[in-house]
Amino acid sequence: MKSIEKSHVFKWSFLLAALFSTALWADSFNDFFSAVKRDDVSAVRQLAQRGFDLNTRNEEGEHALFLALRDDAPAVSAFLLAQSKVQVEIRTPKDESPLMMAALKGKLEAAQRLIARQAEVNKPGWAPLHYAATNADDVSLPMVRLLLEHHAYIDAESPNGTTPLMMAAHYGHPSVVKLLLEEGADPLLKNQQGLTAIDFANRAQRADAANIIAAHVRAKQPKGRW
């Protein structure tokens, strides 16, 4: 009889311990992602010291490093990049990587550190170069250069056949359009809708980009003999 009572006590103790542990983890989970959003590197560091897994994803399946780069949390992103256990190639459910977000946001130093840690510059579908070419600020030019220096495929095709040049023509900085063309991007490629880079520029009423592309195409045409 006593052995049965002891067994029940053990089971209840185990259950209570498990419930307590789950509650603690839930608190740490909420504290962690709240700290990432606030760029509270001290709180993130303390949680890491207590054993919280820095590769934990939030409810949307997003990695903390991705979120820190997306939400402009430079102290937290720098801390996470310095931790060897933090995975740099973990993807969101939309197949976005931390390098893609760094490229989109123009965070050159973070991109350099990600590449140094073997983040993938090339990937099927949307790639970091697409994201870099989309940024309309001046920071996009050194970012595109960085990716090309690390062998980014210049005519990478998204799932619908859109290339980085098309993205730059529609959204990006004219200097990026020029750089991509100088580095060998093909302006005559078409996406699945049959649109070329100059079509993207015209649809967005980007006369500067359209003129750069048109001038490049004309310069490549064979010269006639008279």
CATH number at residue 143: 1.25.40.20
Check pLDDT > 80 for residue 22: no
pLDDT value at residue 224: 57
How many Å is the Cα radius of gyration of the chain?
24
Check pLDDT > 70 for residue 63: yes
The arithmetic mean of pLDDT across residues 58-87, rounded, is 97
Residue 145 lies in a domain: yes
Residue 94 lies in a domain: no
Angle of the 2-38 helix axis to the 41-49 helix axis, nearest 10: 150
The arithmetic mean of pLDDT across residues 106-132, rounded, is 97
Check pLDDT > 50 for residue 132: yes
The pLDDT confidence band at residue 220, using thresholds 50, 70 and 90, is: confident
Check pLDDT > 90 for residue 150: yes
Residue 35 lies in a domain: no
Distance between CA atoms of 46 and 37, rounded to whole angstroms?
Answer: 16
Share of the chain above pLDDT 70, in %: 87
Share of the chain above pLDDT 90, in %: 85
Residue 36 lies in a domain: no
Distance between CA atoms of 62 and 42, rounded to whole angstroms?
Answer: 21
Residue 47 lies in a domain: no
The pLDDT confidence band at residue 14, using thresholds 50, 70 and 90, is: very low
- 135, 156 in Cβ contact below 8 A? no
Distance between CA atoms of 199 and 94, rounded to whole angstroms?
Answer: 27
For residue 185, the enclosing domain spans 121-221
The pLDDT confidence band at residue 72, using thresholds 50, 70 and 90, is: very high
| 23 or 74: which leads in pLDDT | 74
Residue 187 lies in a domain: yes
pLDDT value at residue 65: 98
160: Cβ–Cβ under 8 A, 6 or more apart, which residues?
191, 192, 193
Residue 60 lies in a domain: no
The pLDDT confidence band at residue 23, using thresholds 50, 70 and 90, is: very low
The total number of structural domains in the chain stands at: 1
**For the whole model, what pTM was predicted?**
0.86
The pLDDT confidence band at residue 26, using thresholds 50, 70 and 90, is: low
pLDDT value at residue 163: 98
Distance between CA atoms of 76 and 81, rounded to whole angstroms?
Answer: 9
Check pLDDT > 50 for residue 218: yes
pLDDT value at residue 20: 38
The pLDDT confidence band at residue 222, using thresholds 50, 70 and 90, is: confident
Residue 205 lies in a domain: yes
